[in-house]
Structure 1
Amino acid sequence: MNRRPTIIDVARAAGVSKSTVSLVLQNSPTVREETRQQVREAMARIGYVYNRAAANMRMANAGLIGLVINDLRNPFFTEFATSLQMALSARGYSAVVANTDEDPALQAQVVGAMIEHGVSAVILSPTYGGEAETFGALARSGIPAMQVLRKVESRTELFPFAAPDYVQGSRDATEHLIRAGARRIAFVGGFEGRSVTQVRMSGYRSALEQAGLEPVVITGRATRAFGREAAHRLSAEMPEVDAALAFNDLVALGILSGCAEIGRTVGDAFKVVGFDDIEESAHAWPPLSSVRCDVNGFGKGIADTVLNWLEDGKTPPEETLTPVDLVVRRSSGGAGAR
């Protein structure tokens, strides 16, 4: 090596993250002795010399975790960010939160700023597009980075991915609608071609195929406004459709509003199921059936995963899917449902 070894070189030689090396250099008690020895041996092997003066300048930002969210206006992502931030705080870390508003350029900008300001790790619910800029910068930085809720970067060996089991959720919801007597079930919302749409739709398609039923797909923005428009469209153009599985709860809540406008009763002849089970779902009228993803538990689990990666060098699995369950309420279960 012709240049002076860096902390990133130590991390690579030791097979741990850059942040783990930093914790060892700070004599943090959170690092296991085995990992500490592994790092120190790598330092000696490659000739790394610790620059304490420079490290002291960075210490003000020690313990910061970057959290980048694609759409904090969506209550699902807000609930996730809140639970994650609280779990990080409980273990002595602070979260730096940024909303990218589905803008790839803004995502690259905020990730770059977080890296420059010395965050210890980055957790992203990423937007689509501009993957090279965002994930290229993260790869060069050497800090741990996880994709959550959406997978847009295929290199999961570098950027592990975790999400609720969307496939099982949509399959469970569709099978529930079929058991409830629906025979023409529409999937409503989500942009065509996006991986998260395809994943949430795949369980729906497999359940329909097994039952010998044909899919009806209406893709579009995952918003209340689109759900409201879809309710009007289904009534006018596809009156034979007797149930809808929405891409998310916002779309489903929009369908409920649209049906109220046109006087279509939800829960008996026309059934609706949402996805995510945000808090508002239980308080809508009629109460909305939804695939519960336990977003609070998911956020706490991601905090533990990232901090174990930082403190113990325990790299997460390349892909983790967490359990989901269907909460049946009146929008698909009739008058007797809760």
Structure 2
Amino acid sequence: MERRPTIKDVAREAGVSKSTVSLVLQGSALVKAETRDHVQKVMAEIGYVYNRAAAKLRSGSTGLIGLVINDLRNPFFSELAASLQRSLSQQDYAAVVANTEEDPAQQQKMIKALIEHGVSAIVICPAYDDSGQALEPIARAGLPAIQVFRRVDDRLDLFPFAAPDYAEGGRLATEHLLAQGARKIAFVGGLEGRPVTQERASGHLKVMAERGQEPVVLAGASTRQFGREQAQVLASQYPDVDGVVCFNDLVALGLVAASAAQGRAIGSELRVVGVDDIEECAHSAPPLSSVSCRIPEFATHISDTLLGWLTQGPAPAPDVRLPVSLKVRASSGES
């Protein structure tokens, strides 16, 4: 069997140094365009193939990034994982995705497996783990890791946190509903006492307080089923509520479907806004207004931040909120 061509072979055939070939492989701007073209032509002629995995191993990096996601059945988190994977691949890193299904025990197994397989860093949207030890294996391994959307560890020097600006999203949604003519607005969904619930509700509650209105908060699971159930609760216990900001789109879609089945006119008699802007929002009946977390931009920020930390050393900012925007559709009385 013939020997595979090496960098030395490329350098000899091209009449350049090994370091020049290495710079071409790295895409360095230090190499003149004509030299780069010549070296690449020689590579093609002699059949040289760059072994990127071996190069990363030599540099102390496997080129693998672990993505630990709490629930891939939720379309929002599927989009997050896909966007992160796409953004990392553009920088020549591969993502290994682990779905924990909101199970702390499963999460521990997934983290352990990723560490054993030698990932270089981790992005984690964690399942809730009241032990306070969820990220301890990552700390012991000394891996860079960023918490996204949920914060379960307050050691932000070790595990910086990033999320969309949910407080601003709640404010935008509530002010929009008021501008559309809603007089009494409820916040529906999200487990009581969880920081992410409090943050998503905070902007809404602030606007309500400024208006001197008593809040109506119906806490619970972030699921379609909970949204369906709360449609009946609103109809029987809060008949004067004519606007709803939901914890997420799944709750909103469930609430809209059940409220419409009751005969309520969505978009006029009852106005509803979700959070996350999953793809289904634009295709539901009626289309659902939602606070967009701008996931492609969010994923690019996370991948750039993590890889910068991994390759250059400085730790990211400990707590970051990224911009959101409101996508107005028929469910809130599109104007």
Short-chain TM bin: 0.7 to 0.9
Distance 2:251 2:208 in 1: 21
Instruction: Please tell me whether the aligned partners of residues 108 and 133 of structure 1 are also in contact (alpha carbons under 8 angstroms).
Output: no
Distance 1:94 1:327 in 2: 32
2:240 matched residue in structure 1: 240
> TM-score when scaled to structure 2?
0.81
Instruction: Please tell me whether the aligned partners of residues 30 and 312 of structure 1 are also in contact (alpha carbons under 8 angstroms).
Output: no
1:100 matched residue in structure 2: 100
Q: Deviations over 1:231-260 (max 9, x none)?
A: 122112211111110000010000111012
| TM-aligned CA deviation for residue 319 of structure 1 | 0.9
| TM-aligned CA deviation for residue 134 of structure 1 | 2.7
Larger relative contact order, structure 1 or 2 (CA cutoff 8 Å, min sep 6): 1
Distance 2:237 2:205 in 1: 22
Instruction: Please tell me whether the aligned partners of residues 266 and 286 of structure 1 are also in contact (alpha carbons under 8 angstroms).
Output: yes
1:139 matched residue in structure 2: 139
1:282 matched residue in structure 2: 282
Q: Amino acid of the residue matched to residue 218 of structure 1?
A: L
1:157 matched residue in structure 2: 157
Distance 1:291 1:124 in 2: 22
Q: Deviations over 1:105-158 (max 9, x none)?
A: 111111111111110001000111155433111111111010011111111111
| Gap change, CA 1:310 and 1:30, over 3 Å in 2 | farther
Question: Are positions 1:174 and 2:174 aligned together?
Answer: yes
Q: Deviations over 1:174-223 (max 9, x none)?
A: 11112222221110000001110011011111010011111101111101
SS in 2 for 1:133: coil
Q: Amino acid of the residue matched to residue 299 of structure 1?
A: A
1:184 matched residue in structure 2: 184
2:267 matched residue in structure 1: 267
Runs in 1 of length 4+ with deviation above 4 angstroms? Answer: 27-31, 58-61
Distance 1:93 1:259 in 2: 46
Instruction: Please tell me whether the aligned partners of residues 248 and 274 of structure 2 are also in contact (alpha carbons under 8 angstroms).
Output: yes
Question: Are positions 1:315 and 2:302 aligned together?
Answer: no
Instruction: Please tell me whether the aligned partners of residues 63 and 119 of structure 1 are also in contact (alpha carbons under 8 angstroms).
Output: yes
Q: Amino acid of the residue matched to residue 199 of structure 1?
A: E
Distance 2:131 2:177 in 1: 37
Unaligned runs of 5+ in 2: 1-22, 29-53
2:255 matched residue in structure 1: 255
| TM-aligned CA deviation for residue 278 of structure 1 | 0.8
Question: Are positions 1:119 and 2:116 aligned together?
Answer: no
Instruction: Please tell me whether the aligned partners of residues 246 and 273 of structure 1 are also in contact (alpha carbons under 8 angstroms).
Output: yes
**Counterparts in 2 of 1:56-71, with a 5 A limit?**
62-71=62-71
| TM-aligned CA deviation for residue 94 of structure 1 | 0.7
1:202 matched residue in structure 2: 202
| TM-aligned CA deviation for residue 30 of structure 1 | 9.9
| TM-aligned CA deviation for residue 91 of structure 1 | 1.1
RMSD over aligned Cα, in angstroms? 2.2
Distance 2:277 2:189 in 1: 16
Q: Amino acid of the residue matched to residue 74 of structure 2?
A: N
Q: Amino acid of the residue matched to residue 319 of structure 1?
A: D
Distance 2:27 2:66 in 1: 20
Question: Are positions 1:72 and 2:72 aligned together?
Answer: yes
Q: Amino acid of the residue matched to residue 99 of structure 1?
A: N
**Counterparts in 2 of 1:295-306, with a 5 A limit?**
295-306=295-306
Instruction: Please tell me whether the aligned partners of residues 157 and 315 of structure 2 are also in contact (alpha carbons under 8 angstroms).
Output: no
| Gap change, CA 1:148 and 1:124, over 3 Å in 2 | same
Instruction: Please tell me whether the aligned partners of residues 132 and 152 of structure 2 are also in contact (alpha carbons under 8 angstroms).
Output: no
Q: Amino acid of the residue matched to residue 133 of structure 2?
A: E
Give the number of aligned pairs: 286
Instruction: Please tell me whether the aligned partners of residues 205 and 215 of structure 2 are also in contact (alpha carbons under 8 angstroms).
Output: yes
SS in 1 for 2:135: helix
Q: Deviations over 1:68-105 (max 9, x none)?
A: 00111111111010000011111111111011111111
| TM-aligned CA deviation for residue 287 of structure 1 | 1.1
Q: Quick check: which has more Rg, 1 or 2?
A: 2
2:91 matched residue in structure 1: 91
| TM-aligned CA deviation for residue 333 of structure 1 | 2.2
Q: Deviations over 1:261-320 (max 9, x none)?
A: 111111012100000111111111111111111012111221111111111113210011
* Aligned-residue identity in percent: 54
